[in-house]
Structure 1
Amino acid sequence: MKKATMTVMAVLFAAAVATSAFAFGWGRGPGYGPCGGGDFDRAAGLNLAPEQTAKIKEMREAQWNEMKPLREQMFTKRDEVRKLWLEPNPDQGKIAAAQKEMRSFRDQIQDKMTAYRLDALKTLTPEQQEKIRASFSERGFGPGRGMGPGGWGGGMMGPGGWGGGGNF
């Protein structure tokens, strides 16, 4: 009897802890600000001129501000998907539609990041561009570890970039 009671208590405790942990949600990731992807001004060995650094910073901040509404919409949609999954009888159609919208926001963000990176690349001299290309061959191309769905803390909107030892 005592063993059964202890087992039930342990299960209830684990359920209570898990419930409160999930109630907080995954959060929106670290608030690193506009420093994701293509941070040439932080790339080691590029020796950027002050004008290049200023131009890249200006472009990055503009890109960050342009993407802010998309990120907010995506986070809102992610919260909606989470709530749909928590319903007693999750509606597959609603979940699929909301996930499709999330993918649309992600695609738009990626398109804007690609445009920014290509524009930022144009600010570099041919020698600096070659150093960037060499860093790709050393580090590889694309997202790094932990950059799957929901891993927004890095390559797309977080630390790293082309010279920060992180992601592209």
Structure 2
Amino acid sequence: MKKLTMVFFAVLIATALASTTFAYGWGGGWGRGHGRGACDGGPGYDRDIQAIQELGLTAEQTAKIRDLREENLKDIKPLRDKMFSKRGELKLLWLQKTPDREKITAVQKEIGSLRDQMQDKRTSHRLAMFNVLTPEQRTKVQALAAEKGFGRGGGVFGPCDGSGPRSGPGGGPRGNR
């Protein structure tokens, strides 16, 4: 009888603990949500496919743009990783009992420098993609960009470089990446 009671309570406790994990539901929370985002073939990737259809890109142009995107992602990954590391370092500096102003300022400058490097790469990447297009397609891209927005998260060729309010490793408070 004692053994049966122990097993019953063990199952009851395990069920209670397991049920709280389902309270979160699927994905959700802050961050990019399901998948890895538009840049990696996750949700939002169809925006690029839609742009390909609207622009009437040839197979060769599509392949070239995809190659440029892959190259850009490879170029930017070390910068993104370093920025993530520096942001963590900055957070730790702020959490110290007596934050060191000089150290905090130095790390903030490093983050700014990384951000500038990413911006330069983003500009080069967009110009390279723009140069793949015909003059008619360029005109159409400019019209689409004016209509949909050419900034963070919007436009025909979205940033895909980690910029934006929901970017960076972690994907939010629950780390749903």
When the two structures are superposed, what TM-score results if normalisation uses the length of structure 2? 0.61
Counterpart for residue 94 of structure 2: 85
Gap change, CA 1:102 and 1:80, over 3 Å in 2: same
Contact 1:34 1:61 in 2 (8 A): no
Gap change, CA 1:34 and 1:140, over 3 Å in 2: closer
Match of 1:106 among 105, 108, 115: 115
Q: Are 1:129 and 2:138 matched, yes or no?
A: yes
Gap change, CA 1:53 and 1:141, over 3 Å in 2: closer
The residue matched to 2:94 in structure 1 has which SS?
Answer: helix
Counterpart for residue 15 of structure 2: none
Q: Identify which of structures 1 and 2 has the higher relative contact order when contacts are C-alpha pairs closer than 8 Å and 6+ apart.
A: 1
Structure 2 unaligned runs (5+)? 1-29, 42-46, 155-162, 169-177
Gap change, CA 1:40 and 1:58, over 3 Å in 2: same
Gap change, CA 1:139 and 1:28, over 3 Å in 2: closer
Distance (Å, rounded) in 1 between the aligned partners of 2:150 and 2:95: 36
Q: Superposition pairs for residues 126-165 of structure 1, below 5 Å?
A: 126-143=135-152, 151-153=165-167
Distance (Å, rounded) in 1 between the aligned partners of 2:63 and 2:153: 27
Residue 138 (structure 1) shift: 1.8
Residue 139 (structure 1) shift: 3.0
Structure 1 unaligned runs (5+)? 1-26, 155-168
When the two structures are superposed, what TM-score results if normalisation uses the length of structure 1? 0.63
Gap change, CA 1:45 and 1:29, over 3 Å in 2: closer
Root mean square deviation of aligned Cα: 3.0
Q: Are 1:32 and 2:67 matched, yes or no?
A: no
Contact 1:78 1:102 in 2 (8 A): yes
